[in-house]
Structure 1
Amino acid sequence: MYCTHCGKQIDDDAKFCPYCGQEVPAVYQDEPINNDESSLMFQLVGFLFPIIGFVLYAFYYRKSPLKARSAGIGALIGLIVNIVLLVLGNMVFGLY
């Protein structure tokens, strides 16, 4: 890895840079932080565009399961709403 202060290459387990003496940020010292949380934006995209929601679900399934679940739920609800509206529209316009 590289020091974020001076840019020189340092050991992966270093706590301080041997060149500039600055402390290596904790982000580099520990496991990578997974920012997985439910996403209202993923749900909204999945609801408005169910196919894209299913694609997002498939793409994020292993990396971020909570985001994937949000996209999947939005896509399922969007698909159900689209089907109901399609059936109701056919019934209404079929009468005329």
Structure 2
Amino acid sequence: MLTIVLFDDGRPGEIWPTEEVGKVVKVPDCQFKARGMLGGVANITDVEYQVFEFRVDDEVYLIGVNGRRPSDAVISSHIMHNDPKPKPYKTL
């Protein structure tokens, strides 16, 4: 199981578990509102995150960004202080 740290307006450093990873990962919209109703069932959209590797000390973590990329200091802080802590993608 891999973990990705997600950053956008609704997910400021949330850890997302995933089995597969690519350059883009789709995650259900966390700011669900009844944006569209189809036959009485809410239409929940997926949000695309651009995935990249981010190095902290001797470990590499997967980061997903939708919109503007946060600063390196913000990303590092979320990796170091999140609870639960994300799993490193690989160790150097």
Q: Specify if TM > 0.5.
A: no
Larger radius of gyration: 1
TM-score normalized with structure 1 length: 0.22
TM-score normalized with structure 2 length: 0.22
Q: Which has the higher contact order (CA 8 A, sep 6+)?
A: 2
Task: Name whichever structure is richer in helix by fraction.
Answer: 1
Task: Name whichever structure is richer in strand by fraction.
Answer: 2
